Amino acid sequence: MITIAKQAGDAIMQVYSETDLQITQKQDDSPVTAADIASHNVIVKGLAKDFAGIHVMSEEAADIAWSERKEWQTYWLIDPLDGTKEFIKRNGEFTVNIALIHQGRAVVGVVYAPVLDKCYSAIVGEGAWLEHQGQQQLLDITTQAVREVPVVVGSRSHVSPGLEEYLQHVGEHQMQSVGSSLKFCMVAEGKADVYPRLGLTSEWDTAAAQAVVEGAGGKVVCFPELTPLDYNQKENILNPYFIAASPSWFAR
């Protein structure tokens, strides 16, 4: 999975280096570029070669009937380029997301940020890791205490109305804005205490990074129910509101 994600990242960077990005709008008005499509093609080809027979759902190929998809017990859920707006802004805060879903849960995930040279990976129940500049480190936030002034991470391109109310309950805090799945990864690294997403996301936006957070010992739960965020349980692919955080956050 890591190899495939890095190959997809290489395909993205070929487009990233071009001076004139060709941008089109999808039906939901979200942008799509040649990099999204190139990454999608690399991932789908790689998964078909190395993991033949497992279903694939991608943001760039999501028109799969619910009658078919609801029968899937195990499948790949991918976002070939998470953070297309950040890609267009050329700020480097975009990722390749590949997750393995089994019985509604994200059990394996890879999040690769090619510009930052960071590759996060996880097997839930076994661990999470960060590879950066040729070095690999174990990510473990199981015993991390909440900071005296909590670090809250939020979206750089999507500000939700419900977030302000949530932050009032948090009290004094430090806010950091980051693009794409890197928000989850900051929690998994212990660089942020909580990522509250009180706005709409799609299932491919979150699955791989949820596995990273949970592999590191954190939690990703629906808000306000505090039930696990799961996948492929309904016809539409929109997530409920959720919170990703270290275990100590929920024990406050």
Instruction: Give CA separation, 220 vs 15, 52, 119, 217, 252, in Å.
Output: 33, 30, 20, 10, 16
What value, to the nearest 5°, has the Cα angle with vertex 116 and ends 62 and 57? 10
What's the pLDDT tens digit per position in 122-156? 999 999 999 999 999 999 999 999 999 999 999 86
Q: How confident is the model at residue 29 (pLDDT cuts 50, 70, 90)?
A: low
Enter the pTM of the model.
0.95
- List, in order of start, the domains of the chain with CATH numbers: 2-139 (3.30.540.10), 151-250 (3.40.190.80)
List helix spans (H) across 70-202.
84-89, 161-170, 182-189
Which residues are CB-contacts of 130 (< 8 A; sequence separation ≥ 6)?
118, 119, 120, 136, 137, 139, 185, 188, 189
pLDDT digits (tens, 9 = 90+) for 7-25: 999 999 999 988 677 777 7
Q: Are 84 and 30 in contact (CB under 8 A)?
A: yes
Cα 136 to Cα 33, 120, 230: the distances in Å are 31, 10, 29
Mean pLDDT within 54-58: 97
C-alpha closest to that of 245 among 150, 172, 125, 113:
150
Spatial CA neighbour of 73 closest among 53, 97, 58, 94:
53
What confidence score (pLDDT) does residue 30 get? 74
Q: Which residues contact 210 (CB under 8 A, 6 or more apart)?
A: 99, 106, 109, 184, 220, 229, 244
- Three-state DSSP state, 28: coil
**Contact indicator for 238, 245 with CB cutoff of 8 Å:** no
Q: How many CB atoms lie within 10 A of CB 199?
A: 15
At residue 213, the pLDDT reads: 98
pLDDT tens by residue, 67-123: 999 999 999 999 999 998 899 899 999 999 999 999 999 999 999 999 999 999 999
The continuous run of DSSP H or E covering 175 comes out as strand 174-178
**Given pLDDT bands bounded at 50, 70 and 90, which one contains residue 157?**
low
Checking if the pLDDT of 162 tops 90, the result is no
Report how far apart the first and last C-alpha atoms of the chain are (Å, whole number): 36
Of 147, 145, 141, residue with least CA distance to 173: 147
